[in-house]
Structure 1
Amino acid sequence: MNKQKRREILERLRNENPHPTTELNFTSPFELLIAVLLSAQATDVSVNKAMAKMFPVANTPQAVWNLGVDGVKDYIKTIGLFNTKAVNVIKTCRMLLDLHDGEVPENRAALEALPGVGRKTANVVLNTAFGWPTIAVDTHIDRVSNRTGFAKGDTVVKVEEKLLKVVPAEFKVDVHHWLILHGRYTCVARKPRCGSCIIEDLCEFKDKTE
């Protein structure tokens, strides 16, 4: 895909949604960190429902730590992998308290050192909480990038590297939100909704649907 076509795709996505953000509900970097940590292999809707009950009770590292593993489990038992996630949440809170004065660090290495936080989660937090031009590649972004021809790669890291290379600076802060939403609602996995896609004429996918 050439530079001009990529730019047109990004401009159309921006025109449709000038101020995109995550569909996870949060009011602080800590709430975002916990929500993203819980969203692995789970839907944003399920995380939002659980956090709507937990955050009014506990939304700081100290308050969540005070809940303990069993207390956190009670709030997140509707979310996939909740046993492991509850342990990671508590360990993360302890590390934030011990190493970062209870604050979420604006630092990739420090974020990735937290239990249950990988590169993708760190990218989301750095981007959405702190405005970094990072691109968190999930299954939706991987699919959209490869299917459209926008940024091909056989691993999520390679897709991320390609996106960082080909996306102009002015779009970098918002591009991962646009691509996630496009993959979630239009360029869906089994049968993409090409007929209602605003970039259908620019997309290089060969097996388009009506």
Structure 2
Amino acid sequence: MNKQKRAEIFARLKAENPNPTTELEYNTPFELLIAVVLSAQATDVSVNKATRKLYPVANTPEAIYALGVEGLKEYIKTIGLFNSKAENVIKTCKILIDQHNSEVPQTREALEALPGVGRKTANVVLNTAFRQPAMAVDTHIFRVSNRTNIAPGKNVLEVEHKLMKHVPKEYLMDAHHWLILHGRYICTARKPRCGACVISDLCEFKEKVLD
């Protein structure tokens, strides 16, 4: 895929959705961090349902840490893997209190040192909360990047590096959100909605579904 075609793809995605953002509900970098940790192998909808009850009660490292693992579980037990997530969140709150003055760190290294925070979670926080150019490659972005040929790769790291290299600079900050939303609602896993796709004529997928 050439440079001009990539630029046109992102120009169209931007025209359709000028200000894309995460579907996770949050008001502070800390709330976003916890929501992203909770969202691993779970839907944003299920996380939002839980945090709507949790955050009015506890939305700081101190307040969530004070709940303890068992107390936190009561709020997040509807989310998949809630047992291990509760333990990770409590440990993360302790580290933020002890080492970061209760603030969410703004570097990848410090974020990835937190329990339950991997590269993808760190990238979401860096990009969405702190507006740093970063690409959190989830299953949707991996699929769209390979299927369209925007940034094909055998694994998420390869796709991430290719996106960071090939997405035009003026679109890099929001590219993560455009791609994830496109994968979630249009370029779906089982049957892509090519007939409703604004980039269908630019996409290099051979088996388009146009009905």
Query: Corresponding residue for 1:140?
Result: 140
**Could you tell me how far 1:197 is from its partner in structure 2?**
0.4
**Could you tell me how far 1:177 is from its partner in structure 2?**
0.1
- 1:1-210 matches, within 5 Å, as 1-210=1-210
Residues 109-155 of structure 1, C-alpha deviation per residue, up to 9 Å, x if partnerless? 00000000000000000000000010110000000000000000000
Report the RMSD for the aligned CA atoms in angstroms: 0.4
Q: Distance in 2 between matches of 1:17 and 1:57?
A: 33
Letter in 1 for 2:199: I
**Could you tell me how far 1:72 is from its partner in structure 2?**
0.7
Residues 139-185 of structure 1, C-alpha deviation per residue, up to 9 Å, x if partnerless? 00000000000000000000000000001111111000000000000
Letter in 2 for 1:26: Y
Point out where structure 1 has 5 or more consecutive residues left out of the alignment. none
Point out where structure 2 has 5 or more consecutive residues left out of the alignment. none
Residues 22-50 of structure 1, C-alpha deviation per residue, up to 9 Å, x if partnerless? 00000000000000000000000000000
Provide runs of 4+ in structure 1 moved above 6 Å: none
Q: How many residues align?
A: 210
TM-score between the two structures when normalised by the length of structure 1: 0.99
Equivalent pair of 2:38/2:85 in contact (CA under 8 Å): yes
**Could you tell me how far 1:107 is from its partner in structure 2?**
1.0
Task: Determine helix, strand or coil for the equivalent of 2:33.
Answer: helix
**Could you tell me how far 1:89 is from its partner in structure 2?**
0.3
Task: Determine helix, strand or coil for the equivalent of 1:137.
Answer: coil
Q: Distance in 2 between matches of 1:72 and 1:139?
A: 28
Percent identity over the alignment?
A: 71
Letter in 1 for 2:100: H
Task: Determine helix, strand or coil for the equivalent of 1:18.
Answer: coil
Task: Determine helix, strand or coil for the equivalent of 2:57.
Answer: coil
Q: Distance in 2 between matches of 1:71 and 1:191?
A: 41
Task: Determine helix, strand or coil for the equivalent of 1:209.
Answer: coil
Q: Distance in 2 between matches of 1:170 and 1:96?
A: 33
**Could you tell me how far 1:94 is from its partner in structure 2?**
0.3
Q: Distance in 1 between matches of 2:97 and 2:121?
A: 19
TM-score between the two structures when normalised by the length of structure 2: 0.99
